[in-house]
Structure 1
Amino acid sequence: MLSPLQLIVSLCGSLTAFALLKILRRIYQELTSPTRTLPGPESSHFLYGNLKQIMEDHDSGLLESWIAQYGPTIKFHHLFGRFQMFTVDPKAIHHVLMHTTIYQKSQLQRDTLSRIVGPGLLVVEGDVHRRQRKIMNPSFGIPQTRALTEIFVDKSMQLRDIMVAEAAKGGGVARIEAISWLSKATLDIIGLAGFNYDINALGARAGDAPNELAEAFEAMFHAEPDNLTVLRFIQARIPVLRSIPTKTEAIERRSQATIARVGRRLLEQSKREVAESGTFETGRARDLLTLLVRANTAKDIPESQRLSDEDVIAQVPTFLVAGHETTSTAVTWALFALTQNIPAQTRLREELLGLSTENPTMEELNEFKYLDCIVRETLRLYAPVPATSRIAMQDDVVLLSIPVTDKRGVVHDHWRVRKGDRVFIPILAMNRDVRTWGPDAMEFVPERWEAAPPPSTGLPGVWGDMLTFNGGPRACIGFRFSLVETKALLFALVRGLHFELGVLLADLGKNSDGIVQRPNVRIEPTKGNQLPLLVRPVRR
């Protein structure tokens, strides 16, 4: 029998041999990877590669400059110098996004995202994703969005009134922080529209007890560190180390426990509502969770295809992220863009004031042609989620619409992708591609959407020939919900208030927290993401 010391030595030797084997295997894969021969920038760091450059790029056009210099299909250096394919080739992107069996989120991506949203629709893959999507689709149709528009408008008007009151306190003008106020409004909206749950973030006053669901979500969403750390990179390479407890993970676990507890309570309420019947237009039955429960218990759904209670509860944080952070970010960028284009702001306000009511329907919001142009141009130029990536689950061949010349001078009209290779899809860069959008692709020009039919990009995007809402089978299920909510917020705010930037444009930067990209003020880094605006009520 081996002694304890011998067992320890044997175990350490085995672990060392295993680690060495993994390292040698990784080196071999990198040396023989087809991606290695693609053109692209040199690595800027032995550990981070080019990744830190990308994450810290404050809209300076870094990715666009790489595309201009090296072409539409290139490589860059990822963690520990690992190569990653980067493409804005429409045919290649179409192939990757449509073939969800071959191209999926990496396990690290799924682990990181699940710590925020749990095992919901944004995280799961394959048959599980298809089953969840099939059950959830009926909850996000046009009739369902129409029924929820009243909630969007009511909360938008409440936010407008708050800003008008703040301006009155300041003698007719107020300096407000747009991100925090918009975040409260969209959190209230998804609380009511998603679960008929009154979060009341807009109405909360100093000294009020915080709403437990809102507090848990905010803590969990903002617990993930904004910067790159050595530990995160080591965990990325050695999965077993991802279980090392950290302060961030402790916050996330507590928050997820709270969300699951509240989610179970809301689910039981929804089940009672469905059991007591009633159409979705009335009572609780119009919220997304109740619609999901009704769809999940429909007679034409086989028992084996129905979602478990845990699957349904997993959608609660998914709804919160998809219906809260992304929409508030989109409206934030729209207001910023309108401060930089006052004629567009004035024209939009004149159009909105043409409607006699302050409570428009979904159809009335969608009939505003210039509002639609503003929303489209904002989501093109300032897509809240700037990029996505996939990992190949098997060897594949990707056809290219634009041939690529590799580092050996060989021209290719297709590219071999090997199992384990990663493909980076720069949504923002694709939305700003000069080949599609012209020389003013980096400028906010809402009139481009009324001058002619939008250009065909050949992408599988679900809206506007863009990738803002992703594309293919994993396209954003709630894009209609988000669009109408965005229009309702802009309707109320621009109709009632003038907006100007509250800081120097040169001091404004961008920051990505891993999911969305929002503005910040460079000279006030400790304040985090923010967009200071000066607001004045519109005089009629």
Structure 2
Amino acid sequence: MNPAFGPAQIRALTKIFVDKSIELRDAWVNTIENDSGVGRVDALMWLTRMTLDVIGQAGFNYNFQALQGEPNELNVAFSHIFESGSSQMDLPVLLKLFFPILRFLPETNGAIRKAQATMSRIGKRLLSDAKATDEKNAKDLLSLLVSSNKSKDLAENQRLTDDKILAQVPTFLAAGHETTSTATTWALLALTDNVEAQTKLREETLSVSTDMPTMEQLNALPYLDAVVREALRLYAPVSETSRVLAKDDVIPLGEPFTDKNGVVHHEVRAKKGQEFIVSIAALNRDKTLWGDDADDFKPERWEKIPEAVSSIPGVTNNIMTFLGGAHACIGWRFSIIEMKALLFVLVRSFEFELEVPRKDVLNKKGFPVQRPMVKGENKLPLLIRTVII
């Protein structure tokens, strides 16, 4: 899957990110009342729709039409699953229903069986379309996977079957959809808390002469970059992950600890098969690394980050949000540029204010992400006003 996430591929996808951000902006403009000049939007819901549309187009050239609110086969299939009493199922599970692996899932009633059949049929059609795509025109993830799989340099025993190609996509869809929408929701919430940062970001984005920035133009905005980095540091959508040891190992500790028997330990001896929980949030907010203000949203910290954080083995920006090493999130560039496109378009278009008292917004921790939402409700209501230039 790596060929789909290189700089050249993300550069080509940036137009999708910006186009969908503008479509979201236009939908929000329509919520503004003429007499008050104020609109009310559920940021969590709308950003979820936007990123679903992006994943559909960039992932496998499918139009979910989520922002338009118009039902299509796949959205109808999703709604059937929710209406059938399976509302506890998370998006990663739902997305897996779309692919051949769905035959291993329990079919509890007719609605789910119908949804599974719809998703399976659409998946096969999309795979067929991807195979028919000329290699030079392959841009979406599925087409790139198919193209790579046909490479003459690939050994026959390394080629993937059709089922295995489709089975690669749900992880990308689940990770790229919920994580980016949640991270951007957190960023907007943080900007309502820090009006000075919101104003500074708006001034920077308005200094750009185009509504359709390229990837290079987005990356050339230092404060936008700092806001995105800080939001991803402070509000990592996935707060922890786990790893299982493949063999016995001795893990050195950065600082020794004393056990209940008074014995000081400088390392941990671990056995094959043991599971380790890696707290992404704890490392991203560690005050010994980031300073006493580690729990504060402060984009300015990225002008000169503490030397201590250079030891953090993250794949980018000295944060663990996308993990690091061989198992780092391969879609980190995709997520960062999509976030930048969203914030660029939205912050230069609107002033944001939280509609409810800040104390009423909770961090709802779930699988796979932690979301900001009003207590007792699955939403984050914001007030918006059009920016007057």
If the length of structure 2 is used for normalisation, what is the TM-score?
0.89
The structure having more radius of gyration, on CA atoms, is 1
DSSP 3-state at the match of 1:469? coil
Q: 1:487 to 1:172 in 2, by over 3 A?
A: same
Quote how far apart the aligned CAs of 1:464 are.
1.0
Residue aligning to 1:139: 4
DSSP 3-state at the match of 2:351? strand
Residue aligning to 1:213: 74
DSSP 3-state at the match of 1:160? helix
Paired residue for 1:509, among 346, 359, 362? 362
CA contact (8 A) 2:178 2:369 kept: yes
Mean Cα deviation higher: 386-395 or 295-304 = 386-395
DSSP 3-state at the match of 1:334? helix
Mean Cα deviation higher: 172-181 or 415-424 = 415-424
DSSP 3-state at the match of 1:314? helix
Question: Is 1:519 aligned to residue 384 of structure 2?
Answer: no
Q: How does 1:309-458 map to 2 (within 5 A)?
A: 309-452=162-305, 455-458=308-311
Whole-angstrom CA distance in 2 between matches of 1:446 and 1:416: 39
CA contact (8 A) 1:338 1:345 kept: yes
DSSP 3-state at the match of 1:162? helix
Q: 1:342-379: per-residue Cα shift (whole Å, max 9, x none)?
A: 00000000000000100000000000000000000000
Q: Which amino acid aligns with 1:196?
A: N
Whole-angstrom CA distance in 2 between matches of 1:432 and 1:219: 40
Q: 1:404 to 1:187 in 2, by over 3 A?
A: same
DSSP 3-state at the match of 1:464? coil
Residue aligning to 2:385: 536
Whole-angstrom CA distance in 2 between matches of 1:251 and 1:244: 14
Quote how far apart the aligned CAs of 1:225 are.
5.9
Residue aligning to 1:273: 133
Residue aligning to 2:26: 161
Quote how far apart the aligned CAs of 1:171 are.
3.2
Q: How does 1:250-265 map to 2 (within 5 A)?
A: 257-265=117-125
Q: 1:218-241: per-residue Cα shift (whole Å, max 9, x none)?
A: 777984468xxxxxxxxxxxxxxx
Q: 1:170 to 1:479 in 2, by over 3 A?
A: farther
CA contact (8 A) 1:263 1:316 kept: no
CA contact (8 A) 1:384 1:517 kept: yes
Whole-angstrom CA distance in 1 between matches of 2:160 and 2:241: 27
Whole-angstrom CA distance in 1 between matches of 2:106 and 2:151: 42
CA contact (8 A) 2:290 2:306 kept: no
Q: 1:323-350: per-residue Cα shift (whole Å, max 9, x none)?
A: 2111000100000000000000000000
> Is there any run of 5+ residues in structure 2 with no aligned partner, and where?
91-103
Whole-angstrom CA distance in 2 between matches of 1:268 and 1:302: 22
Quote how far apart the aligned CAs of 1:216 are.
4.2
Residue aligning to 1:482: 335
Residue aligning to 1:175: 40
Quote how far apart the aligned CAs of 1:300 are.
0.8
Q: 1:219 to 1:465 in 2, by over 3 A?
A: farther
Whole-angstrom CA distance in 2 between matches of 1:250 and 1:406: 55
Question: Is 1:197 aligned to residue 62 of structure 2?
Answer: yes
Mean Cα deviation higher: 216-225 or 138-147 = 216-225
Whole-angstrom CA distance in 1 between matches of 2:65 and 2:49: 8
Residue aligning to 2:96: none
Quote how far apart the aligned CAs of 1:259 are.
3.3
Whole-angstrom CA distance in 2 between matches of 1:299 and 1:479: 29
Whole-angstrom CA distance in 2 between matches of 1:196 and 1:244: 26
DSSP 3-state at the match of 2:261? coil
If the length of structure 1 is used for normalisation, what is the TM-score?
0.65
Quote how far apart the aligned CAs of 1:291 are.
1.2
Whole-angstrom CA distance in 2 between matches of 1:531 and 1:219: 25
CA contact (8 A) 1:455 1:465 kept: no
Q: 1:243-294: per-residue Cα shift (whole Å, max 9, x none)?
A: 99696x99877655543332211010010113xx4x23xxxx2111111111
Q: How does 1:51-70 map to 2 (within 5 A)?
A: none
Q: Which amino acid aligns with 2:37?
A: G
Q: 1:321 to 1:225 in 2, by over 3 A?
A: closer
Q: 1:244 to 1:293 in 2, by over 3 A?
A: closer
Number of positions where the alignment pairs a residue of Structure 1 with one of Structure 2: 373
Q: 1:6-51: per-residue Cα shift (whole Å, max 9, x none)?
A: xxxxxxxxxxxxxxxxxxxxxxxxxxxxxxxxxxxxxxxxxxxxxx
Q: Over aligned residues, Cα RMSD in angstroms?
A: 2.4
Q: How does 1:288-307 map to 2 (within 5 A)?
A: 288-307=141-160
CA contact (8 A) 1:150 1:361 kept: yes
Q: 1:288 to 1:372 in 2, by over 3 A?
A: same
Quote how far apart the aligned CAs of 1:212 are.
2.7
Mean Cα deviation higher: 294-303 or 415-424 = 415-424
Whole-angstrom CA distance in 2 between matches of 1:398 and 1:175: 51
DSSP 3-state at the match of 2:174? helix
Question: Is 1:287 aligned to residue 140 of structure 2?
Answer: yes
